[in-house]
Amino acid sequence: MYNKTIAELAQGLRSGEFSSVELTAAFLDRIKQHSGLNAYISVTEDLALQQAKAADARLANGDAELLTGIPIAQKDIFCTEGVKTTCGSLMLDNFIAPYNATVVEKFNHAGAVMLGKLNMDEFAMGSSNETSYYGAVKNPWNINTVPGGSSGGTAAAVAARLAVCATGTDTGGSIRQPAALCGITGLKPTYGRVSRYGMIAYASSLDQGGPMTRSAEDAAIMLQTMAGFDDKDSTSVDTQVPDYSAGLNNRLDGLKIGLPKEFFGEGLNSEVAATLETAIDEYRKLGAMVTEISMPTLKLAIPAYYVIAPAECSANLSRFDGVRFGYRCENPADLSDLYTRSRGEGFGKEVKRRILMGTYALSAGYYDAYYIKAQKIRRLISEDFKKALSEVDVIMGPVTPSTAFGIGEKIGNPIEMYLSDIYTIAINLAGVPAMSIPAGFAQGLPVGLQIIGNYFAEDRLLNIAHQYQQVTDWHQQAPTGF
């Protein structure tokens, strides 16, 4: 059952081959068996079995949806009513969410079963899932390497078959990068396509939730539930949600693929580059036309992002002060001591680093020099994407410069860690959709191919990914022992 897709499991549930309770119990046992990966922060066994029983009743009554009875998991950044929601931080270690995020509510309405909450970099700040208060997550392909971040728990759980599928969030690559390092499919939708209500904010103008699955077909099914306008979210876009599964089998004859020369230069591991070239050759065989393009502002993405994102995190995390909710220091001497020690003790090193960076960038005398200039660069990057996507249908390239690196290898060097997202950050600054799909292996570890599309063209990306997955089997590969 572990290797079945959402559609296959849904068919099995409808035919009576197995019940949702049996399926859920099997996954719960599997989570216990592989707890050493540290993919889950909380396992909601009682709730999962309760939801599974309700799903079986819906299935018996004939009013089930495609996700009814399917065991999924939520990144621990989505608020879940009555369940601890931590964001991977000591600051929220005792926080029981009083309401559901819109995304969680949508899955509940569909009858999905929540197995638990997945580990993540603290407040989604990190590229390796090593900044979590609950410890590093291990990559199932090699437990001495990182799974990527911040959605590392999600990627590891899906790759190791500890959930059929799961949610992630992407601020600068945090769905695509871990998807690439763990050999799964991850989709970052257009900014505003998926509601951010109840998704604890890191950088509000960049954060976006999305599906992490083993295949593009499963991602289409998940996104169908996740997407849609939400009047509780002021950044949600009121635009029609297409049937994401309807066009999966469309042919790719005449597809125009652009390869930015800036993506294939210095810094890209040669084995990763060769693996990607083989994947792009498959698209040529499928009828696509490939051309080199130039996007000169891409080199400015990292410095612009690391002004804008920390500035927004500085504002968003100001609410965690030891007064209203979250961690509070013991025996504060006065109000100033309460604020200082609660924040100093409750936040980890990387979160404090970004708060300080953001506060500095927003301070008097530096706002124009840093924050305003970064926003101007962001506009130039958006214009570069608009220009490129007026000439080609999609842009392809690497997700990461290398395969998964060792646990502890980069944690002491923030700059080197930040460069792990060099190929993903510009997409968030522009707000366009992008996904990572498994494209092979280098040095025995997974390599992801990044596909970038135009605004609200997720259906086209899923079609392009699905067609590739019909002629390759990289997405079906499982780590040894899982």
H or E stretch covering 435: strand 434-442
User: Residue 305 pairs with which residues in a beta bridge?
Assistant: none
Distance of alpha carbon 133 from the chain centroid:
19
Q: Which of 42, 89, 132, 174 is catalytic?
A: 174
List b or e across 452-467, with b for residues whose CB sees 16 or more CB atoms inside 10 angstroms.
Answer: bbbbbbbbbbbbbbbb
Residue 75 designated active-site: yes
Distances (CA, A) of 145 to 30, 126, 139, 158, 478: 21, 15, 6, 16, 16
Residue 19 designated active-site: no
Please report the DSSP string for 355-380 in residue order.
Answer: HHHHHHHHSTTTIIIIIIHHHHHHHH
**Cα separation of 461 and 469, whole Å?**
12
Pairing relationship of beta strands 256-260 and 394-398 according to DSSP bridges? parallel
Q: Which of 19, 42, 75, 195 is catalytic?
A: 75
SS3 162: coil
Pairing relationship of beta strands 394-398 and 113-118 according to DSSP bridges? unpaired
User: Residue 75 pairs with which residues in a beta bridge?
Assistant: 118
Q: Which of 132, 150, 151, 436 is catalytic?
A: 150
Distance of alpha carbon 337 from the chain centroid:
36
The torsion angles phi and psi of 189, rounded to 5 degrees, stand at: -70, 170
SS3 409: coil
Which residues are annotated as catalytic? Answer: 75, 150, 174
